[in-house]
Amino acid sequence: MKNLILQLVSVIGSIGFTLGELYKPKNSIPCSTDKHCPAEWPCCSPYNECGAGPVCVGGCDVRSSFNEESCIPIPALVPNLEVKFASTPKVPKFNANYQPRPPIKEENVPKKANTKVSIIEGELNSKRIIHYAKFLVTPDMKEAAKMLDDFDFTHSGYTSIEPSTGNIVLAMPKKTTGSLVTTTRSFLYGKASLRMKTARSRGVVTAFVLISAIGDEIDFECLGGDLTMVQSNYYSQGQLDYTKMQRFPVSGDTWATYHTYEIDWDPDRIVWYVDGKPARTVVKKDTWDPVKKEFRYPQTPMRLEAAVWPGGSEHNGPGTINWAGGLIDWEHSPDIIERGQFTAQVDQIIVKPYRNKFTEQVQHCLKAKKNATTILDKDLSKVVVSYKKQNKTAKYGESSLQWDCFVTPKVNDWLSSGKIRDSNNSRSNNGLEKHLHTYPDLRLPASRHVII
């Protein structure tokens, strides 16, 4: 059994080798609200690195990107739709679709690794999960529309499907940065639920996060060295305030036992639930910042993320390592010895959006563009949201949201962005030539939680 698992780790690891990260510069370019991305790599990732292509999709931070047109519009989840993953054993037969379109010649891609990637990716595709570097990266509008219809989640890292249970496996082999699954759509207020078994061992972190493209966040975090407790926190616009973190007990071992974690978020309050029981409540009126004259409350469209990441990595700062419980033992931890990797297993995900002040506006858009008096469920899946700041001093928030409908967002390839007039010819190829096999294929939330 151990040998089989180690072989699986090797297979999954080849995903990163095949896809590489050709959509990022060879030398990382940091981005922030004070330092925007350059035109050559116009999009700022949730982890404060500039890139193009897939980086311009999903969590692209409009505040730090080259301009507001760099990020594509965000696919939105609106009432009465919902996102749901439910584990089912015995993965069905599949066809591996949506092969990436790298901006390099096909003969330069390792064909052996491609075969292995097809197996893992095909199993995930059958569960409506697609690799994030492929999602909405296509010059074909029909293919992009089909991706929106066919996939509810993206993944990165060492993600797979456990055949005997049908669970999503979020794995972290030795000396890696883990795995991540994310919803393809964002929602403005709603209830998100995740049923899972967490990873274990000192320094290993399992996270259930709601996060927006501009840094609003609500989370659960489970430390692998303390399997009877769970942590909660929330942030506004990327302002990391760790003093608001609260811990509460969980009955039973979070690694050995499934537990259901829920976040119920509306315009006035947030409630965290564990196994159906409320564990914490935050009311918006209590988040008023008298100095900045604003509510420090999450109020922009969020997507769900589930991840395993190495809080106790030797590459992190001492504050993060201490918070995570200490350095990870990459050699002698039981799961490394027995399985070759740390793992969390996700059994169920449900996201149900609530009505908000934009709901009528969205419905009007759908009816007007369809030129009809009724709206079908399939029409609701054609809604997008984007950010447009009202003036130079305004803060991004609810007032800067722009909703549209019957729009298919996409980027043409790994070197394009959301800007319509963007073209490959206008880009520098600096750093691309030898970039395929040197960079891991991951997008993880660790950088948002680094404690100095």
Phi, psi of 126 (to 5 degrees): -65, -15
Neighbours of 10 (CB within 10 A): 12
Q: Locate 51 and state its tokens.
A: 């890139």
Q: CA 316, CA 324: separation in Å to the nearest integer?
A: 10
C-alpha 53: how far from chain center: 16
β-pairing, 129-131 vs 153-161, is parallel
Extract the runs of DSSP E, i.e. beta strands, from 113-203: 129-131, 153-161, 168-173, 179-183, 190-197
Is residue 297 within 8 Å of 175, Cβ to Cβ?
A: no
Q: 42-64: b or e for each residue (b if 16 or more CB lie within 10 Å)?
A: bbbbbbbbbbbbbbbbbbbbbbb
The answer to whether residues 261 and 274 touch, using CB atoms and an 8 Å cutoff, is: yes
| Residue entry with tokens 């209590």 | 286
Strands (E), 115-268: 129-131, 153-161, 168-173, 179-183, 190-197, 204-212, 217-223, 229-235, 246-249, 259-265
With the C-alpha atoms ordered 317, 323, 326, 332, is the resulting torsion angle positive or negative?
Answer: negative
Burial code (b: 16+ CB inside 10 Å, e: under 16) for 186-203 equals bbbbbbbbbbbbbbbbbb
The residues annotated as belonging to the active site are: 217, 221
DSSP assignment letter at 369 = H
| Strand 129-131 relative to strand 83-86, pairing | unpaired
Tell me whether strands 341-353 and 190-197 are parallel, antiparallel or unpaired.
antiparallel
Give the CA distances from residue 100 to residues 141, 146, 219, in Å, rounded to whole numbers and listed in that order: 15, 15, 32
Pick from 177, 272, 256, 180: nearest CA to 224: 256
